[in-house]
Structures are given as C-alpha cells and as structure tokens.
Amino acid sequence: MPSNVVNLFAGIPASLEEELTDGLVRTDAVRIERIVSRGHASPPGFWYDQPESEWIVLLIGGAELAFADGETVALTPGDWIDIPAHRKHRIERTDPDRETVWLVVFYR
C-alpha cells in the first residue's frame, strides 16, 4: 500500500476570515488537528474547558495563550505546551501579518 505524504503547510488559503481547523488523525484515544490562524483570537470572555488534555506545538507564526488563573504564555516557532484537561484557556492573540500554524494533539 503506498504512503500518503501530506505537507502541513500546503492548502492554506490566502484569506482566512475564521481560523482553519483540519482533522488529521482521529482514534478513540487521540485526535490530531492542524489549526491555521491569522490575527485570530478567542471571543471576549470565552474560555476553552475541554475534557481532553491538549498538547500544542507552534510550527510557524506567533501566539499568546491566556489561562483563567491569570498566567499568559507567548509561543514562537518550535515552542510546545501541554495543557491538562479542564484547564481553562483562550487564544489571546495570533500574528496578524502571517499565518500561525499549530499542530494540536488532544488525548485522554
């Protein structure tokens, strides 16, 4: 069976009104997504509160995450963070001048 090689930086539209989320892999235990942002942020007052833990690596661009406990974390290419399940967080900002590409692994 031939291998199916896909590039994480392919297929990014020139214009993004909303974040682009592509599901890459899904099993009962894990979900992997590519997320592309360009100047996007979570809506005011919105917090992610997810039943899965979330491992994030920032591939290109820049972003800042905010946590409900007051911590903020700036991410640059190559940075990764592991967010435990139910730790409330939001995307405070992403680079407005270029794509920010995230690889996100949700796991139980």
Q: Which domains does the chain have, with CATH numbers?
A: 31-107 (2.60.120.10)
Q: How far from chain centre, in Å, is Cα 7?
A: 17
Taking CA atoms, 87 is separated from 16, 23, 27, 74, 83, in Å, by: 28, 22, 23, 17, 7
pLDDT at 83 over 80: yes
Among residues 48, 22, 40, 38, which one has the least CA distance to residue 103?
A: 22
Q: pLDDT class for 2, splitting at 50, 70, 90?
A: confident
pLDDT of residue 77: 98
Distance between start and end Cα atoms, the chain: 30
Query: What pLDDT, in 10s, does the model give residues 24-73?
Result: 999 999 999 999 999 999 999 999 999 999 999 999 999 999 999 999 99
Instruction: Report the percentage of the chain scoring pLDDT > 70.
Output: 99
pLDDT of residue 50: 96
Q: What is the pTM of this model?
A: 0.93
